[in-house]
Amino acid sequence: DVVMTQSPLSLPVTLGQPASISCRSSQSLVHSNGNTYLDWFQQRPGQSPRRLIYEVSSRDSGVPDRFSGSGSGTDFTLKISRVEAEDVGVYYCLQGTHWPPTFGQGTKLEIK
Amino acid sequence: EVHLVESGGGLVQPGGSLRLSCAASGFTFSTSWMLWVRQAPGKGLEWVANMNQDGSDKYYVGSVKGRFSISRDNAKSSLYLQMNSLRAEDTAVYYCARGVSRTTDFWGQGTLVTVSS
pLDDT band at B97 (very low <50, low <70, confident <90, very high): very high
Q: Is the bond preceding residue A101 a cis peptide, omega within 30 degrees? A: no
* Residue-level pLDDT at B44: 95
Q: How far apart are CA A77 and CA B84, in angstroms?
A: 39
Percent of chain A's residues with pLDDT above 90: 100
The DSSP line for A17-67 is S-EEEEEEESS--B-TTS-B-EEEEEE-TTS--EEEEETTTEEPTT--TTE
Segment B44-95, tens digit of pLDDT: 999 999 999 999 999 999 999 999 999 999 999 999 999 999 999 999 999 9
Answer yes or no: do A102 and B107 touch at CB < 8 A. Answer: no
Contacts of B36 in chain A (CB under 8 A): none
Neighbours of B63 (CB within 10 A): 12
* Residue-level pLDDT at B16: 98
Q: How far apart are CA A13 and CA B76, in angstroms?
A: 46
Chain Cα centroid distance, residue A42: 8
Nearest to B102 among A48, A96, A105 (CB): A96
* Residue-level pLDDT at B31: 96
Nearest to A100 among B45, B59, B108 (CB): B59
Contacts of A101 in chain B (CB under 8 A): 47, 102-104
CA distance to B71, B88, B94, per residue, from B15 (Å):
21, 9, 18
Q: How far apart are CA A105 and CA A9, in angstroms?
A: 8
* Residue-level pLDDT at A104: 98
**What's the gap in Å between the CA of B25 and the closest CA on chain A?**
17
B20, B36 in Cβ contact below 8 A? Answer: yes
Percent of chain B's residues with pLDDT above 70: 100
- The alpha-helical segments, DSSP class H, found in chain A are none
Segment A26-75, tens digit of pLDDT: 999 999 999 999 999 999 999 999 999 999 999 999 999 999 999 999 99
* Residue-level pLDDT at B48: 97
**Mean pLDDT of chain B, nearest integer:** 97
**Mean pLDDT of chain A, nearest integer:** 97
B117, A63 in Cβ contact below 8 A? Answer: no
Neighbours of B84 (CB within 10 A): 14
* Residue-level pLDDT at B7: 98
Each as own residue / partner, the long-range contacts of residues A12-15 (CB below 8 Å, 24 or more positions apart, any chain) are A12/A110, A12/A111, A12/A112, A13/A80, A13/A83, A13/A109, A13/A110, A13/A111, A13/A112, A14/A83, A14/A111, A14/A112, A15/A83, A15/A84, A15/A85, A15/A111
**What's the gap in Å between the CA of B2 and the closest CA on chain A?**
12
* Residue-level pLDDT at B23: 98
Segment B4-42, tens digit of pLDDT: 999 999 999 999 999 999 999 999 999 999 999 999 999
SS3 A72: strand
Q: How many helices (H) and strands (E) does chain B have?
A: 0, 11
* Residue-level pLDDT at A98: 96
Percent of chain A's residues with pLDDT above 70: 100
CA-closest candidate to residue B91, choices B7, B8, B5, B11: B11
